[in-house]
Amino acid sequence: MANKLTLEQVRAKSTNRIAGLSDTQRKAAELLIDFAYACGVPIVITQGLRTIDEQNGLYAQGRTKPGQIVTNARGGYSYHNFGVAIDFALLLPDGKNVSWDMQRDGDGDGIADWDEVVAEARRIGWNWGGDWRSFKDYPHFEMTFGLSTADYRAGKRPSHTQLNTAMAKIDALKSNKTEDDEMTTEEKTEIAKQFKALQDRVIALESANKLAKVPTWAEQACINAKAAGVLDTANDGSYDFYRLVTILDRAGVFKTKGGAA
C-alpha cells in the first residue's frame, strides 16, 4: 500500500523532537525517517533529547507517581539526556495517530513494519533497545560510540575520527539512496513486468537458438534477475536474451531493497 503522507509531511512530524540531538545522531535520525518511508513505513520520532528533570519525572512513574514503570534510568543515566538516543513509533495513515504494534504490516509486504524500521536503523548504525538482555526497550535506538552514560556524565565525547567515520557512512547511504531514487520502485516494477512479457516472447521466438549454457558475462545478471523474482530459470536462453538481461541489470532494474543486487 502506497504512503498517503508525503515524505515532507512525515519529516515535519519529527523536526522538533530531533532538533536537540547531537549532529551525527540528528543526521542519522533524519536518514532513518527517509529510509523507513522508502520501505512504505512512515515513522515519527517520539523522543530525542530529554532533560535531567524530564528523565527524573519518567523514573518516578510507577514508583512515586501513578503509572507503569517505563525506565530504569534516573536523570543523567539515560543516553537521551546526552542527545544520542531516540524513540520512535509507527505513524498511521491519518498522520495524527501512532502505533507501537510490532506485528503491524501497514504496507502489506508481508514483513512487520517494526522489523523493517529496525533493519534500516541497524544499517545506518543505530543500536536497538530490543537487543538488550534485560528490560528490552523496543522503540529505542541509540548511537553511543562505545561510551557509557558515566563517560558522558564525566564530559567524555566520541573522538573526531569516530564522528567523521559515522558521518561518512551516513553521507554514503544518502548518496546511494539518491541514486536509487532516480528510478522509483513503481518504475522498476513496471519495467520488470514488461521484461517478463518480453522474456516469454523471446523464448517462444528463439527457441531454436538456445545456448547450451549461460554465458560467463551474463551469469551475475541472471542471478540478480532470479533474486528479484523476474526469472524462474536462466537456462536455455539465446544470445540476445542474455544480452538483454545484462543491459537491464546494469540499469538497476533487478536491484533489491537492501541496495545490493
169 and 189 assigned to the same domain: no
160 and 35 assigned to the same domain: yes
One-letter identity of residue 128:
W
162 and 215 assigned to the same domain: no
Considering the domain boundaries, does residue 122 fall inside one?
A: yes
Considering the domain boundaries, does residue 83 fall inside one?
A: yes
- Choose the final residue of a domain: 180, 199, 232: 180
43-47 and 85-91: which strand pairing? antiparallel
157 and 139 assigned to the same domain: yes
170 and 216 assigned to the same domain: no
- Choose the final residue of a domain: 136, 157, 180: 180
**Buried b / exposed e along 183-193 (16+ C-beta atoms within 10 A):** eeeeebeebbe
Q: How far is CA 159 from the centre of its chain?
A: 26
Considering the domain boundaries, does residue 148 fall inside one?
A: yes
Q: What is the CATH number of the domain that holds 112?
A: 3.30.1380.10
93 and 56 assigned to the same domain: yes
240 and 143 assigned to the same domain: no
Considering the domain boundaries, does residue 152 fall inside one?
A: yes
One-letter identity of residue 39:
C
Q: pLDDT of the chain along its 261 residues, tens only?
A: 556 899 999 999 999 999 999 999 999 999 999 999 999 999 999 999 999 999 999 999 999 999 999 888 999 999 999 999 999 999 999 999 999 999 999 988 899 999 999 999 999 999 999 999 888 999 999 999 999 999 999 999 999 999 999 999 999 998 886 555 555 566 666 666 776 776 676 666 655 567 778 888 888 988 888 888 888 777 777 777 888 888 888 888 887 644 443
77 and 172 assigned to the same domain: yes
Phi (first) and psi of residue 56, to 5 degrees: -65, -35
For residue 112, the model assigns a pLDDT of 93
41: left (phi over 0), alpha (psi -120 to 50) or beta: beta
168 exposure class (CB count in 10 Å sphere: 0-12, 13-18, 19+): exposed
Q: Report the domain count for the chain.
A: 2
Considering the domain boundaries, does residue 255 fall inside one?
A: no
Considering the domain boundaries, does residue 259 fall inside one?
A: no
Element at 99 (helix H, strand E): strand 98-99
94 and 214 assigned to the same domain: no
How far, CA to CA in Å, does 261 sit from each of 58, 98, 207, 221, 229? Answer: 45, 34, 28, 9, 12
Considering the domain boundaries, does residue 257 fall inside one?
A: no
152 and 201 assigned to the same domain: no
126 and 202 assigned to the same domain: no
- Domain range for residue 79? 7-180
User: Which cell is 222 given?
Assistant: 541472471
174 and 192 assigned to the same domain: no
- Choose the final residue of a domain: 148, 165, 180: 180
Q: Is the dihedral of CA 66, 68, 73, 76 positive or negative?
A: negative
Condensed to tens digits (0 to 9), the pLDDT of residues 127-157 reads 999 999 888 999 999 999 999 999 999 999 9
Considering the domain boundaries, does residue 40 fall inside one?
A: yes
Q: Does the predicted model carry a pTM greater than 0.75?
A: no
